Amino acid sequence: MSLTSLLLAALVAVALLPARVHAEAPSLADASPRARKVRLHVGERQRFAAPPMGGQCCTWRLDGHTTPATALEWDFVPTSAQVGTHRVTLRIEGRAGATERWWAVRVEPPRPPAVVVASPAAPALEVAPDETVELVLRTRPSAGGETVRTSWTVNGVPAGEGETLRVAASRVGRVRARALAIGSLGSATAREWEIDVRPAAIAAAPPTTAELPPTLPPSPPTTVPAPPTPSLRAGAEITNPEVEALLQRYALAWRRHDVDELRGMGQVASEAQARALRHYFATVRDLDVEVQLLEVRSRGHHRRVRFIRRDRFRDPRGRVVTRETPIEKEVARTASGLRFVRPGP
């Protein structure tokens, strides 16, 4: 057979082959979620799904990186390290080619633990010495799989863990109790109570109705003199408990963003410092401040105080930041009480 005959036979065979079916690329119009922009918090679950189809190869990518998932569904549960914007891409490959669909995902910081019970409801209480107050902070996690740990401090000193704390102060004065519930995802919520311990009032004796014998004169009323109120002159010796009380006022003013209180304590000495402090308070969220006293040294009538201020807050991007600042201050007694002053020579 000649070469021409062979070529002619081959052309005839090709012509007799069945026509190729050109299938359309798979459609992802029914992929879910329908919205192309998704917003969720750390720890929350978002399911992405391709429409049901057979004989197709499914691939999921997060920010360009292929995930191990190959099924038609993929769950995204972001961690604290994934706060920000991400891109989720679904790619379906078939005989006719490949098609893709993508979503823009915004991951927000975790929600704080939800407060179920905070008791007493009032943040300020008045009690008598040795009277027991039961404080309760009960929370629930904000996301599935999260755990919450609650710790307590009294006047800045660790006092235990759990949902309940019993406080019984034996000395007259103010006690600050604070509960901090921290979720395992990094969020936190807090409650604070100020307990004013006051001397118990002495009840007046009820009037006597029985008649006295005529030979006895009526008894004079009995009066109980009030204890003298100590008056501390400016320059009197400063005690360590007074320094601790000053630092607790200082920490409370920071938590409340109270620039005027800090000015009265001597922390703010100029309008420029006040503006800088207000700017700091405006740029942080959920500010929590604690003070740890390190050392108190005598300097004549003054005291040189070293302490650490711990700030815990959320920055403008929602990240939880803890910052420790070592501070050294000089404390003096003035007519209005203890305050921070400039160091002497």
248-293 pLDDT per residue, tens? 889 888 888 888 889 988 988 889 899 888 888 888 888 888 888 8
Domains in the chain and their CATH numbers? Answer: 27-108 (2.60.40.10), 110-199 (2.60.40.10), 236-345 (3.10.450.50)
Check residues 328 and 229 and name the one with the higher pLDDT. 328
Q: How far is 240 from 245, CA to CA, in rounded Å?
A: 9
Confidence band, pLDDT 50/70/90 cuts, at residue 49: very high
pLDDT computed for residue 3 by the predictor: 59
Q: Where are the alpha helices (DSSP H) in the chain?
A: 3-16, 240-255, 259-264, 271-283
User: Each residue of 57-88: pLDDT tens digit?
Assistant: 889 999 999 998 888 899 999 988 898 999 99
Q: Where are the alpha helices (DSSP H) in 74-220?
A: none
pLDDT computed for residue 300 by the predictor: 80
User: Each residue of 184-213: pLDDT tens digit?
Assistant: 887 888 889 999 888 765 554 555 554 545
Greatest distance between any 2 Cα atoms in the chain? 163
Q: How far is 65 from 63, CA to CA, in rounded Å?
A: 6
Among the listed residues 338, 326, 328, the one whose alpha carbon sits nearest the alpha carbon of residue 305: 328
Residue 84 CA: distances (Å) to CA of 10, 110, 219, 222: 62, 12, 82, 74
Q: How far is 252 from 244, CA to CA, in rounded Å?
A: 12
Q: Evaluate whether 126 touches 114 at the Cβ level (below 8 Å).
A: no
pTM: 0.48
* Mean pLDDT score across all residues of the chain: 81
User: Each residue of 89-121: pLDDT tens digit?
Assistant: 999 887 777 889 999 999 998 888 889 999 988
